[in-house]
Amino acid sequence: MTTNDSGSGETTGESAPAAPKPTPKPAPRPGPRPTPHPRPAAAAVTPPVAVPPPAADPHRFGRVDADGTVVLITAAGERVIGSWQAGEPDAAFAHFGRRYDDLHTEVVLLEARLASGSGDARKIKSAASALLESLPTASVLGDLDAVEQRLKSILEHADGAAAEERTRRDAQRAAQAARKEALAAEAEEIANTSGQWKAAGDRLRAILDEWRTITGLDRKTDDALWKRYSAARETFNRRRGSHFAELDRERVGARQAKEALCEKAEKLSDSTDWAGTAATFRDLLAQWKAAGRAAKDVDDALWARFKAAQDTFFEARNAINAERDAEFGANALAKEKLLAEAERIDIADPKAAQAALRAIGDKWDAIGKVPREKSADLERRLRAVEKKVREAGTADHTDAEAQARADQFRERAEQFERQAQKAEAAGKTRDAEAARASAAQWREWAETAAEAVTKKR
């Protein structure tokens, strides 16, 4: 605020540039005062596409008196807004008109922010109230009544917009709280149940990253949810730490058990008790698998020791087996030759056939073992030859017994016939008849036995 050059002490609303006082001009003839711009009806606030051109012609809403006094005319009357001593009156109109345009632009921007919902309705209302309160002392030339109406319209709509914004904020806050609630619940589930330590740890870190992107919650709710997530993470870390501590203890136990197994295996590596030691190695291997795992590098080194001892034994056994298999193969060839000879034995003379088979059997037993896969077939073929020779000998022996039996029955018949003759000569008729009956019976048996021998032949 500066005093004018007339020394009247009247203040202006704007500092005017220092300049020589212009030559006084005769006061203009009073004319009709401009009619204030009518107040526009309240309308819905719509955002402008761009900042508008000058809002109003300043000449219509004020005047500049001859002494430089600048007067604003409104529906409420006239009000001095300053004193212009810097030049022509048109310069004063331009200067105070630009100030009105600035004020008008502020109002337009407030309307646009309120209509688009891009601003805080409470802040917009506060800014509109401040502008409205400044209007009675505003040093501008323009349609201040229209500005007043538009500011009042902003105030009317700001409360509704603030309520809507509050509703949106509450809904957004609830949605954000629900997201964090879901993340906290998932973290608790992982913390209490998951045994997939790496995947679960990665997921808890991903939850934390997502958590940090969720904002807008009230402090109390946010703190409560954070405590849930933090507690879940601590629970998970304790469970994981306990698991790996137990795993370390198990690995130490596994290492000690496997070291003992390695020592046993190394002591057995030079054994020549092939069957017994092989069985022992199978038992040691079962114990190895049941012992669990030590740390990977330790486990690998221990397995290399155990396997080296095992390989030493089995390689030696396999070498012996290879030699034995070669020997058994030669035995099999020898037995096949004996079988060929046995299968050619002539059984017409059973005794000679049995003698030849006994000689072959002695040689067979002297040869020794053959490969297991050939043993059954060779033995089967030999048993077949033995059966054939045995059946031939049995048949010959049976014929001799039958002939002897027939001869014995005839001798008995002849004995009873002689007894009958003696009894009859002695007058013993009854004894003679009994003797002749017995003779007839033995004679019949003798004939039956003789017929049987004849049929076999």
pLDDT in tens, the chain (457 residues): 333 333 333 334 443 333 333 434 333 333 333 333 333 333 344 444 344 555 568 888 999 998 989 999 999 899 999 999 878 888 989 999 999 999 999 999 999 988 887 778 888 989 999 999 999 999 999 999 999 999 999 998 887 777 777 788 888 889 989 998 999 999 999 989 888 989 999 999 999 999 999 998 889 999 999 999 999 999 999 999 998 898 888 889 998 898 898 998 988 889 888 889 999 989 999 999 898 888 889 889 989 988 998 899 889 889 887 888 888 889 889 988 988 888 888 887 888 888 888 888 888 888 888 888 888 888 888 888 888 888 876 665 556 666 777 777 788 788 888 888 888 888 888 888 888 888 887 788 778 777 766 665 5
Residue type, 89: P
> The tokens 């009994």 sit on which residue?
434
| Terminal C-alpha separation, the chain | 165
The candidate with the shortest Cα–Cα distance to 226, out of 215, 238, 237, is 215
How many whole angstroms separate alpha carbon 36 and alpha carbon 77? Answer: 9
Tell me what pLDDT residue 457 has: 53
How many whole angstroms separate alpha carbon 176 and alpha carbon 171? Answer: 9
Tell me what pLDDT residue 115 has: 86
Tell me what pLDDT residue 400 has: 64
The candidate with the shortest Cα–Cα distance to 360, out of 389, 332, 338, is 338
Tell me what pLDDT residue 399 has: 61
Determine the length of the chain: 457
Tell me what pLDDT residue 452 has: 67
Q: Find the radius of gyration of the CA atoms of the chain.
A: 66
* Tokens coding 281: 């190695």
Bridge partner list, 70:
64, 82
Tell me what pLDDT residue 428 has: 81
Bridge partner list, 184:
none
Contact in structure between 87 and 127 (CB atoms under 8 Å): no
Tell me what pLDDT residue 327 has: 82
Helix 219-268 with 144-193: angle, nearest 10 deg: 30
Half-sphere exposure of 328 (CA within 13 A, CB side): 14
The candidate with the shortest Cα–Cα distance to 261, out of 234, 237, 238, 282, is 282
Q: Are strands 77-83 and 69-74 parallel, antiparallel or unpaired?
A: antiparallel
Bridge partner list, 73:
78
Tell me what pLDDT residue 179 has: 92
Tell me what pLDDT residue 241 has: 92
Report phi then psi at 45, rounded to 5. Answer: -80, 125
Taking the domains of the chain in order of start, what are their residue ranges?
1-172, 173-241, 343-456
